């Protein structure tokens, strides 16, 4: 065997590749569980996946890695390899900062909270959920404390860092504070303008097989490569699999076709990003998501920037007529109106793009205070109701299941994730503005059915860059400035005013 000049680095990348291969099996098993597995297979699958997860943890936590990192740092590495090494070290720090006891406690508390979540939602009551969530928040605070100590960050900053490299609480407060300034008024203006607008509802049924073919056609036009992936159905749409074989899903209802199509377009954004990560780095942290907002930004580029536009409606209209027969509702202006209807409501996942930021701001404020200790779990419902009223004018008093019980995130111990949804919307708006500046004929091309031009723009700028830069730095490189909520505001103003 030839010796290499970077033996420690090579050892570390070989381990990464091994983890990538075993992670492939895990990703496949998860996809199968959500899309194919018969109910009776659940417990055997859980045991099998737990076994592999333990094996992956053991490999990642091999104590001999520490010495390899020390050696690799002093090896002669190219710039990209050095970034890759730093990302490995980041991952190591994140996964080793939390003691086994605390990690186990978070998991245990999360299981206990999840166990009450569904029944609490169904019973529309806070009491039974509050006790386990209180314990879970305490455990997550300990986890955040340990993470923060290892990373030199505050508790909430540490939780943010896990999902969004480089994002800090101060930045979130500043970005979201700006949005809070202009959002309520903008929503009001949009609703006033839409109050005289007629929207014709399409008449179903829309056969599911036809919907499936339509989704397949559209995401193919967006650039999804069916030679290296599949579209299936699942209860909750998601993108899974591996970059070499991406599995995205949507869900169908016979009575309506837009939800399935929009969910498929959303997932196609994630999926195209996934498929176009640089092949030669697959398995290395350089291609692993370290920015949930960049990922969400790709999904929203398709679902929120592209789909509701009149240009897209012009491309979609003839396809709908071919698929389901001609209806007045399929005229482009009506389609676009359907997809841009603003209607404040209590449920985040049903919210339109204009009221959506309010849902995120509310959750971010509350979880920040929970982690800081400024708010107790028992105070969540009141804080929720007050903010929903203030931000959206929606009265959620007494509707806990449509209030703080609607999301699974907190019950799963996932704090610090919600902000990335809104940061993702900013990423999408900012990229879209830059794309429009680069392609003055964008709308003409889209209206003519060239949906691929969006991906062609994103591909070299975002998808193929992988994890070299965090969201701010990548935006700076593409658009000349870091995150700028004004882009989101201008996008809303252009579309809704």
Site string for its own copies, 23-42 (x = CB under 8 A): -xxx-xx--x---xxxxxx-
Give whichever of 3 and 40 is closer to its own copies, judged by the CB atom. 40
User: Smallest gap, in angstroms, from Cβ of residue 298 to its own copies?
Assistant: 20
Smallest gap from Cβ 207 to its own copies, in A, equals: 14
Task: Using the minimum distance from each CB to its own copies, give the nearer residue, 37 or 151.
Answer: 37
Q: Which residue in 1, 2, 5, 47 binds its own copies (CB under 8 A)?
A: 47
Q: Closest approach of Cβ 462 to its own copies, in Å? A: 22
Site for its own copies in 211-240 (CB under 8 A): 225-230
Selected from 1, 3, 43, 101, the binder of its own copies by CB under 8 A is: 43
Q: Find the binder of its own copies among 4, 7, 14, 44 (CB under 8 A).
A: 44
Q: Which is nearer to its own copies, 18 or 74 (CB)?
A: 18
Site residues for its own copies, 315-354, by CB under 8 A, read none
- Smaller CB distance to its own copies: residue 26 or 327? 26
In the complex, least distance from residue 296 CB atom to its own copies, rounded to whole angstroms: 25
CB of 19 to its own copies, least distance (A): 9
Residues sharing a CB contact under 8 Å with residue 462, sequence separation 6 or more, in sequence order = 273, 294, 297, 298, 431, 474, 478
Of 21 and 321, CB closest to its own copies: 21
The 3-class secondary structure across the chain, one letter per residue, is CCCCCCHHHHHHHHHHHHHHHHHHHHHHHHHHHHHCCCHHHHHHHHHHHHHHHHHHHHHHCCCCHHHHHHHHHCCCCCHHHHHHHHHHHHHHHHHHHCCHHHHHHHHHHHHHHHHHHHHHHHHCCCHHHHHHHHHHHHHHHHHHHHHHHHHCCCHHHHHHHHHECCCCHHHHHHHHHHHHHHHHHHHHHHHHHHCCCCCCCCCCCCCHHHHHHHHHHHHHHHCCCHHHEEEEECCCCCEEEECCEEEEEECCECCECHHHHHHHHHHHHHHHHHHCCCHHHCCCHHHCCCEHHHHHHHHHHHHHHHCCCHHHHHHHHHHHHHHHCCCHHHCHHHHHHHHCCCCCCCCHHHCCCCCHHHHHHHHHHHHHHHHHCCCCHHHHHHHHHHHHHHHHCCCCCCCHHHCCCCCCCCCCCCCCCCHHHHHHHHHHHHHHHHHHHHCCCHHHHHHCCCCHHHHHHHHHHCHHHCCCCCHHHHHHHHHCCCCCHHHHHHHHHHHHC
Q: Taking a C-beta distance cutoff of 8 angstroms, is the pair 311, 48 a contact?
A: no
Full strand arrangement of the beta sheet holding 229-233: 229-233, 245-250, 239-242
Q: Which is nearer to its own copies, 12 or 311 (CB)?
A: 12
* Contact letters for its own copies, residues 54-93 (x by CB under 8 A): -x--------------------------------------
Interface residue with its own copies among 52, 103, 138, 408 (CB under 8 A) is 52
51 binds its own copies (CB under 8 A): yes
**Least distance from C-beta 47 to its own copies, angstroms?**
5
Determine the interface stretch with its own copies among 19-27, 115-123, 309-317, 421-429 (rule: CB under 8 A).
19-27
Cα–Cα distance between 365 and 199 in angstroms, integer?
35
For the CB of residue 270, give the shortest distance to its own copies in the complex, in Å.
Answer: 17
50 lies in the site for its own copies, by CB under 8 A: yes
Name the residue nearer to its own copies (CB basis): 230 or 341.
230
Tokens coding 150: 């290892």
Site string for its own copies, 276-295 (x = CB under 8 A): ------x-------------
Per CB under 8 A, 244 contacts its own copies: yes
Please give the size of the binding site for its own copies, defined by CB under 8 A: 35
**Window of 17-25, 117-125, 307-315, 363-371 that interacts with its own copies by CB under 8 A:** 17-25
Site string for its own copies, 166-205 (x = CB under 8 A): ----------------------------------------
Q: Which residues bind its own copies (CB under 8 A)?
A: 18, 21-22, 24-26, 28-29, 32, 36-41, 43-45, 47-52, 55, 225-230, 242, 244-245, 282
């Amino acid at each position: 065997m030839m010796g290499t000049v970077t033996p420690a680095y090579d050892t570390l990348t070989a381990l990464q590749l091994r983890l990538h291969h075993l992670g492939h099996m895990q990703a496949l098993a998860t996809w199968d569980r959500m899309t194919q597995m018969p109910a009776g297979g659940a417990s055997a699958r859980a045991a099998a996946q737990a076994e592999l997860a333990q094996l992956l943890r053991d490999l990642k936590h091999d104590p001999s890695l520490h010495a390899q990192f020390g050696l690799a740092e002093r090896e002669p590495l190219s710039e990209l390899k050095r970034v890759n090494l730093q990302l490995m070290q980041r991952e190591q720090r994140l996964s080793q900062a939390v003691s086994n006891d605390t990690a186990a406690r978070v998991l245990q508390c999360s299981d206990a909270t999840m166990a009450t979540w569904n029944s609490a939602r169904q019973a529309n009551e806070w009491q039974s959920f509050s006790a386990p969530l209180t314990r879970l928040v305490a455990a997550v605070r300990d986890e955040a404390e340990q993470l923060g100590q290892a990373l030199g960050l505050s508790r909430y900053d540490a939780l943010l860092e896990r999902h969004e490299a480089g994002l800090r609480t101060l930045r979130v407060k500043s970005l979201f504070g700006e949005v809070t300034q202009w959002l309520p008024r903008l929503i009001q203006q949009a609703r006033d303008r839409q109050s005289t607008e007629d929207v014709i509802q399409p008449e179903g049924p829309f056969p599911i097989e036809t919907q499936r073919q339509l989704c397949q056609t559209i995401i193919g036009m967006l650039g999804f490569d069916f030679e290296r992936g599949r579209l299936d159905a699942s209860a909750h749409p998601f993108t899974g699999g591996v970059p070499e074989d991406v599995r995205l899903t949507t869900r169908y209802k016979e009575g309506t076709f837009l939800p399935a199509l929009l969910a498929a377009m959303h997932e196609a954004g994630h999926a195209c990003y996934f498929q176009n990560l640089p092949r030669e780095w697959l398995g290395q942290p350089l291609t692993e998501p370290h920015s949930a907002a960049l990922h969400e930004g790709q999904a929203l580029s398709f679902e929120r920037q592209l789909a509701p536009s009149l240009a897209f409606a012009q491309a979609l209209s003839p396809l709908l007529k071919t698929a389901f027969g001609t209806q007045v509702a399929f005229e482009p202006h009506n389609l676009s109106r359907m997809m841009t209807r603003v209607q404040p409501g209590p449920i985040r996942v049903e919210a339109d793009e204009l009221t959506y930021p309010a849902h995120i701001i509310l959750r971010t404020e509350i979880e920040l205070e929970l982690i800081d200790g400024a708010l107790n779990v028992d105070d969540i419902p009141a804080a929720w109701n007050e903010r929903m009223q203030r931000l959206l004018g929606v009265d959620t008093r007494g509707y806990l299941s449509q209030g703080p019980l609607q999301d699974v995130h907190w019950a799963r111990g996932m704090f610090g994730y919600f902000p990335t949804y809104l940061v993702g919307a900013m990423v999408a708006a900012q990229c879209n503005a830059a794309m429009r500046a680069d392609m003055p004929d964008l709308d003409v091309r889209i209206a003519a059915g060239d949906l691929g031009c969006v991906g062609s723009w994103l591909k070299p700028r975002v998808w193929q860059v992988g994890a070299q830069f965090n969201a701010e730095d990548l935006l700076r490189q593409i658009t000349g400035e870091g995150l700028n909520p004004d882009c989101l505001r201008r996008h809303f103003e252009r579309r809704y005013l």
